Structure 1
Amino acid sequence: MAYDPELADRMRARLTPSQPREVAMFGGLGFMINGKLAAFAHGDGGIWLRCAPDRVGELERQGAQPAEMGNGRTMGPGWLRVSADKLSTEDMLAFWLDAALDHNRESA
């Protein structure tokens, strides 16, 4: 299933200062920053993001869930899925992408 191009445009606008490299993968669009996948526009209209593992609990309380591959296995520590309904405003999208950018900067 293809990703939502409008969501990808919104992500692109927010991530541009970080100079992301866009990579089509898994039927979606990944945004690589500093050579690492930071966020991903998923085919279900949501995003996946990589955050600091110690922030997972906090972000799950805000509505994120562990990101799972098609076989039901999680992507690993720090990978979260955010559903489309949690991305409806620019402030909401910024909140999630900032979590990914914070981790990306800290792990550079």
Structure 2
Amino acid sequence: MAYDEALAQRISDVLEGEPGLTSRKMFGGLGYMLDGHMAVAAGSGGALMVRIDPADAPAWVDGEGVTPMKMRGREMAGWLLVSSDALTSDEQLELWVGRGVAFVRALPPR
């Protein structure tokens, strides 16, 4: 299934003007990289994949709108999946995109 194009446009709007921004289709989604590090991705069904510090995950996972990201049945440390229900407002999307941006901005450029 292809990524959600409406979500991708919303993410693009949030990230507009961010230095070092690129996007790339990957794993059925559209990933947004900052200085070579993927911060967030638009997935299928309106879900947002967010890169975070693994130490922060327990505080942000609620088991409903925010869950650990799984790929091929395995949890991906440092990634959360935020459902479309948790992204209905621009403020909610900005919060989650901001978390992904903050994490990758703390990493050395690639």
Q: TM (normalized to structure 2)?
A: 0.89
Q: State how far apart, in whole Å, the 2-side matches of 1:64 and 1:78 are.
A: 13
Question: Within the alignment, does 1:56 sit opposite 2:57 as a pair?
Answer: yes
List, as ranges, runs of 4+ consecutive aligned residues in structure 1 with deviation greater than 4 Å. Answer: none
Identify, as 1 or 2, the structure richer in strand: 2
CA offset at residue 61 of structure 1?
3.7
Q: Provide structure 1 residue ranges, at least 5 long, that are not aligned to the other structure.
A: none
Shift of residue 39, structure 1, vs aligned partner: 0.5
Residue aligning to 1:29: 30
Residue 27 (structure 1) shift: 1.4
Matched residue SS, 1:2: coil
1:87 Cα shift?
0.6
Whole-angstrom distance in 1 between the partners of 2:59 and 2:15 = 22
Cα distance per residue 1:20-52 (max 9 Å; x no partner): 211011111000111011111001211111011
> Number of residue pairs matched?
106
Provide the identity percentage.
35
Partner letter of residue 48 of structure 1? M
- The residue that corresponds to 1:82 in the other structure is 82
The secondary structure found in structure 2 opposite 1:13 is helix
What is the distance in 1 between the residues matched to 2:105 and 2:58? Answer: 20
Q: Deviations over 1:48-106 (max 9, x none)?
A: 1101122111211494211111x21122x211100110011100001111110110111
> Secondary structure of 1:102's partner?
helix
* Aligned twin of 1:38: 39
Q: What residue in structure 2 maps to residue 72 of structure 1? A: 73
**Does the residue aligned with 2:49 lie in a helix, a strand or coil?**
strand
1:51 partner amino acid = I
1:17 Cα offset (Å)? 2.5
